[in-house]
Amino acid sequence: DTGVSQDPRHKITKRGQNVTFRCDPISEHNRLYWYRQTLGQGPEFLTYFQNEAQLEKSRLLSDRFSAERPKGSFSTLEIQHTEQGDSAMYLCASSLLAGAGANVLTFGAGSRLTVL
Amino acid sequence: AQSVTQLDSQVPVFEEAPVELRCNYSSSVSVYLFWYVQYPNQGLQLLLKYLSGSTLVKGINGFEAEFNKSQTSFHLRKPSVHISDTAEYFCAVIMYSGGGADGLTFGKGTHLIIQP
């Protein structure tokens, strides 16, 4: 297992364009989380999935942000009509569903978004 | 609501000296506590965690932390630092819900700078 994979590692886009990030979690992990990290700040929780169900999405930053995990494996985070304020690192993490590992998140390297 | 405060945004330390990175949290219920490290251009890596049991927990790379419930603190310590410890350190908390509904709440981070 290669851990949590995120793609692309860096995306540069123009304001108003749509962008999509992909996350492949650790294969046996049922839970998948998305976070945003801006410069000088800690990661900020956005949303999470348990298998294919999105159990928490009220913390997504606006209705321009959406996430999917259609088959309970990989997930995508889409930002529509990007704004310069969306420039940040988008982090994905995964964890087990139960037991001591349920609260231990493994993070990917992140996808850095730059909106010009 | 839960929150995490890391009082020091930067901590400069000479190589081989001891270091303590401070973390305080607020929560109305019991919590799980974590320290993550982020090296430049990399994702977050788990250093150590407190879930239950002994309040002194040992992690990777010689780090340890002590959970103090009365002071709502979870300070990170290392007796002798190395240049390779230069990184951003994040304290994080999750409410004792078992469901992980909100994921981790992170502090703003402390940049540990090791001086030769």
Where residue B96 falls among pLDDT bands split at 50, 70, 90?
low
For chain A, the residue count is 116
A43 with B32: Cβ contact below 8 A: no
Where residue B1 falls among pLDDT bands split at 50, 70, 90?
low
Which residues in A lie closer than 8 A to residue B108 (C-beta atoms)? Answer: 40-42
Nearest-by-CA chain A residue for B109: A42
Nearest-by-CA chain B residue for A4: B43
Where residue A1 falls among pLDDT bands split at 50, 70, 90?
low
Nearest to B37 by CA among B95, B110, B100, B94: B110
| Residue A110 near chain B (CB below 8 Å) | yes
pLDDT reading at B97 higher than 90: no
The stretches of chain B forming alpha helices (DSSP H) are: none
Nearest-by-CA chain B residue for A49: B101
Q: Which of B57, B104, B111 to mutate to test the interface with A (most CBs of A within 10 A)?
A: B104
Query: Residue B74 half-sphere exposure, CB side, CA atoms within 13 Å?
Result: 29
> Rounded mean pLDDT of chain B?
90
